[in-house]
Structure 1
Amino acid sequence: MKKISAAFDGLKFSEGTLAYAIKVAESSKAMLSGVFLESFLYHSYKIIDMVGSQGISQAKMNHLLAGDEQRRQHSVAIFDEACKNAHISYTTHRDKSFALQELLKESVYSDLVLIGADETISHFEEERPTQFIRDLLAETQSPVLIVPRIYKEIEKVVLLYDGKPSSVYAIKMFNYMMPWLRSKETEIISVTDPKETQELPDESLIKEFITCHYPDAVYSMLKGDAEDEIVTYLKTIKKNVLVVTGAYKRGQVSRWFKSSMADLLMKELNIPLFIAHNK
């Protein structure tokens, strides 16, 4: 049995993250851990909300704290009920320290971390990718599945491949974590420099590997700048697609999957994104 950790902000609970988490856990026959991040620095109210006629009001503060606790408990209850209705094995964690560090610790003991693309674990709304997501991806100890706010059934899988170990590793981890998607339409995308011969890197080896897991996969060779060509191509796909990418950190050998590439995918495409990098 695999373990999937789905991260939630109990004050801004994401139904989309819940739906994806339930689907992945059901299909993978995995245990689902609902990780409710409750940083002691983060509340739904602002300082001005605590001010009374005599300054900071303890009574107002207690009322606001109780309201936050009620909302967080309600979010946990929604998660519990959904897992029971789906008849999956589950547990809940309410991590109450520094949210990022707690989630990174969870990633050490998880096969996969699942989180909404818009999560900030703060008052603030940010454009994708949020700083919280960027920091998580830079240091995670497990693959991460970034999901959109609204759930859509996955109809197609795209594997990005550049001939480097990091991109193959991502495909391996995806195959391990989500084997139930092998039956979906699968496409391998690679990009070459316009000045170079248009051929798949290590073609015989990658095709041999892919055939073992995705025998009906098709291959698409693009020419040009990888970032531009991949995003443009993915936008033409009409089906609900999930994209698998390799290394996220700067300094990795792959020039495709440095942080700017993953950032661009999150910014431009509102789709599930499976990211894994070998360290």
Structure 2
Amino acid sequence: MRTILALVDGSLYAGSVCDLAAWAAARTASTVTLLHVLGRRETATTPIDLSGSLRADAREALLAELAANDESRARLAQKRGRLLLDDARARIEKAAAATGVEAKLRHGDLLDAVAELEPEAALVVVGKRGEAADFAKGHLGSNLERIVRASTRPVLVAARAFRPIAKVVLAYDASPSAERALDLASHDPMTNGLAVEVITVGDGEAARTRVEAAAERLRAAGRAATGRVVAGEPEEAIGAAVEASEADLLVMGAFGHGRLRALVVGSTTTAMVRRCRIPVLMVR
């Protein structure tokens, strides 16, 4: 059975991650694997040596107290992790009663834990920012960027709040990752029955031909699809078009053509995740 891997923490995005994973699971008859990872700082039991030049008996007492505090902190972190997973499981089961939900608590590096579980998953769901991220405008969580770089599966990025999804915008530039995004929008049960608008940036006949060919492929697969050409710089033009369309989900390739490949994650993709207040599905 298809599985969705949902990454949860204590951030403001955790509830939306659960709701989005439940939505995707219900549409695709998938189970959900919830993952919470305790970092090394949270589980370290080797105390930091703060004893300095203290006399021997005082040093021993201080180190013993530090060790006890570290062990207590590790226990509390594990307890908190289990509670986060329990809450997430309950939320998903309530939203999608027929969905099987498995919870996993791991220690160490997030990417290592994702790499362990990802081969069994068809989709990874993650929040735009984690609980340790700076919430300044335009800042993305570092773990999100690491996951997108490393993941071999489509990554669905949750916005701050979830809302029912009825309309999809597909940003299309005919790059290899955009072609795979088009294939997903055409055939994945997650998008079945949703209205899809294909947007491409450009001008002239070539752009119109490109977007109409993509829309026709969607229609041939049974999707209700339209196409639109917008002018301007990709980051601004696509963002404005998404906002004007009142779409509920943006689907796009993680990489683009030419200068858009300047970053490991395409610059247009990164800009869209920063700007959009709707979920973004990135396809490698």
The question of whether the paired residues in 2 share the 8 Å contact of 1:115 and 1:147 is answered with yes
Counterparts of 2:224 and 2:142, CA distance in 1:
38
2:271 to 254, 259, 264: 264
1:165 to 173, 176, 191: 176
Aligned-pair distance for 1:164? 2.7
1:246 to 230, 235, 253: 253
- Report what 2:83 is aligned to: 74
1:225 to 205, 223, 233: 233
Aligned-pair distance for 1:265? 0.6
Aligned-pair distance for 1:12? 7.4
The question of whether the paired residues in 1 share the 8 Å contact of 2:29 and 2:99 is answered with yes
- What TM-score do you get using the length of structure 1 for normalisation? 0.82
Mark the runs of 5 or more structure 2 residues left unpaired by the alignment. Answer: 52-60
Secondary structure of the residue that 1:57 maps to in structure 2? helix
1:155 to 137, 146, 166: 166
- What TM-score do you get using the length of structure 2 for normalisation? 0.80
Mark the runs of 5 or more structure 1 residues left unpaired by the alignment. Answer: none
Alignment of 1:195-234 (within 5 A): 196-197=204-205, 199-202=207-210, 205-234=213-242
Report which of the two has the higher share of helix.
2
Do residues 190 (structure 1) and 200 (structure 2) align?
yes
- Report what 1:97 is aligned to: 108
| CA gap 1:157/1:141 in 2 versus in 1, 3 angstroms | same
> Per-residue displacement from partner, 1:122-162 (whole Å, max 9, x unpaired)?
x4435532221111111211111001131111131001111
Counterparts of 1:273 and 1:207, CA distance in 2:
19
Give the letter for the 2:85 counterpart.
V
| CA gap 1:202/1:265 in 2 versus in 1, 3 angstroms | closer
- Report what 1:25 is aligned to: 25
Alignment of 1:28-47 (within 5 A): 28-42=28-42
Aligned-pair distance for 1:76? 1.8
- Report what 2:191 is aligned to: 181
The question of whether the paired residues in 1 share the 8 Å contact of 2:211 and 2:227 is answered with no
The question of whether the paired residues in 2 share the 8 Å contact of 1:10 and 1:38 is answered with no
Secondary structure of the residue that 1:229 maps to in structure 2? helix
User: Rg bigger for which structure?
Assistant: 2
Counterparts of 2:126 and 2:220, CA distance in 1:
30
Aligned-pair distance for 1:113? 0.4
| CA gap 1:216/1:140 in 2 versus in 1, 3 angstroms | same
Secondary structure of the residue that 1:271 maps to in structure 2? coil
Aligned-pair distance for 1:270? 1.7
| CA gap 1:175/1:104 in 2 versus in 1, 3 angstroms | farther
State the identity %: 18
Cα RMSD for the two superposed structures? 3.1
| CA gap 1:12/1:183 in 2 versus in 1, 3 angstroms | closer
Counterparts of 1:165 and 1:144, CA distance in 2:
16
| CA gap 1:205/1:220 in 2 versus in 1, 3 angstroms | closer
Aligned-pair distance for 1:54? 3.9
Counterparts of 1:215 and 1:109, CA distance in 2:
28
Aligned-pair distance for 1:206? 2.8
| CA gap 1:20/1:204 in 2 versus in 1, 3 angstroms | closer
Aligned-pair distance for 1:224? 2.1
